[in-house]
Structure 1
Amino acid sequence: MQESTADDWKIIGDEFKSYAAALPDRVLVHLRLLDGDCGGFPVDRLTHSLQTATRAYRDKRDEEYVICALLHDIGDTLGSFNHPDIAAAILKPFVSAENHAIVEKHGIFQGYYFFHHLGMNRNLRDQFAGESFYNATLEFCEKYDAPAFDPDYDTLPLEFFEPMLRRVMARPKNTIYKSVTE
């Protein structure tokens, strides 16, 4: 890198643009890895993600929020102990600070419904009381994430959300590489 030139970085930048444009395809492949893995729940992880997004969509949330709902558990396969961090990292360049915080913190907030069954403090979310994202994350878990384990729910298919995902991921908002993506 110390010997690179502007011409070298023009080539690399052009390659980056095409690679970055294919990000939605890679995300969809990874999301499909959740198919069939129930983890003891009544629906598999992909269905849970689709139900969460379907509920947000039917509640007339904007596309960015719906895609956050869709991808909130995408980290389950690689981040068994920190899946919200994985999802939040994927989404961070494309979403608002509040939506990012919702995804990043949803695991702690969702724990309210079950941590006490595991000998944990169900009120861990209270450490974030007063934060700007607190009420929004409570709402996300209560309205969209927690109820999205229903095997009888009329869940929209992944193909329905694909155009939204492509639109949201086509417009990075928060990246140091913004000049390369334009």
Structure 2
Amino acid sequence: MSKTVSFLQMKDGTRDDYLLLDQSERNFATGLPGRVMEALAKLDHSLEGYKVSRLEHSLQSATRAEADGADEEMIVAALIHDIGDELAPYNHAEIAAGMIRPYVRAEVTWVVEQHGIFQMYYYAHHLGGDRNARDRFRDHHWYASCERFCERWDQASFDPDYASKPLSYWEPLVRDIFGRQAHDPRYVKSAA
């Protein structure tokens, strides 16, 4: 049986309790890359209606990003950008951004977080929405980066005949990015 804290309410915790929990959290965090891979695999049986699964869409997005010369952080962003679809269909971008934020530069997080609004450019007008909702970010220094992400990788990745790389190909990169020390200033740089 594993050791547990002494308290029933957090306010009653001791230093030893919180040291135990801190170590437990650090140990648990080492498994994050594997859990990300599992979550991506589940996208193969997710939202229906497209010609490809959400997993295949993610694989195509990452494959296109790599072929386009994107850096590793942006490639992983393209791979996981829709990972929140399973549990948060109406704010999936925020979920994905929250997951990747501790491990990458601020630009990558911003692009993932805003991609849902930028994607509306391609379909919102068909549903009575504002396809130009992204224009509120027109002066943002990462606007062009998000626009490119959506135009070249995201909206273009629904082709059942596209030769995407398999999930196993991306595993080393996922393990590298999500295996980083969270909030490491070598990778996580604040907004310019």
In the aligned structure 2, how far is the partner of 1:152 from the partner of 1:127? 35
| 1:53 counterpart letter in structure 2 | A
Checking the alignment, whether the CA contact within 8 Å between 2:61 and 2:157 is kept in structure 1 is: yes
| 2:183 counterpart letter in structure 1 | N
In the aligned structure 2, how far is the partner of 1:130 from the partner of 1:172? 32
TM-score (norm. length: structure 1):
0.91
Per the alignment, residue 179 of structure 1 pairs with none
Residues 9-66 of structure 1, C-alpha deviation per residue, up to 9 Å, x if partnerless?
3322221111000011111111111103352111110000010001111222121111
Alignment of 1:26-65 (within 5 A): 26-37=35-46, 39-65=48-74
5+ unaligned residues in a row in structure 2: which ranges?
1-9, 185-192
Q: Secondary structure at the match of 1:53?
A: helix
Checking the alignment, whether the CA contact within 8 Å between 2:97 and 2:112 is kept in structure 1 is: yes
Per the alignment, residue 17 of structure 2 pairs with 8
In the aligned structure 2, how far is the partner of 1:2 from the partner of 1:173? 26
| 1:59 counterpart letter in structure 2 | D
* Deviation of 1:174 (Å): 2.8
In the aligned structure 1, how far is the partner of 2:169 from the partner of 2:45? 19
Per the alignment, residue 102 of structure 1 pairs with 111
1:127 and 2:129 are equivalent in the alignment: no
Per the alignment, residue 166 of structure 1 pairs with 175
Per the alignment, residue 80 of structure 2 pairs with 71
Q: Percent identity?
A: 45
Find 2:124's aligned residue among 115, 120, 126: 115
* Gap change, CA 1:37 and 1:4, over 3 Å in 2: closer
In the aligned structure 2, how far is the partner of 1:7 from the partner of 1:172? 23
| 1:90 counterpart letter in structure 2 | M
Q: Secondary structure at the match of 1:33?
A: helix
In the aligned structure 1, how far is the partner of 2:167 from the partner of 2:178? 16
Per the alignment, residue 5 of structure 2 pairs with none
In the aligned structure 1, how far is the partner of 2:182 from the partner of 2:27? 18
| 2:164 counterpart letter in structure 1 | T
TM-score (norm. length: structure 2):
0.86
| 1:40 counterpart letter in structure 2 | G
RMSD: 1.4
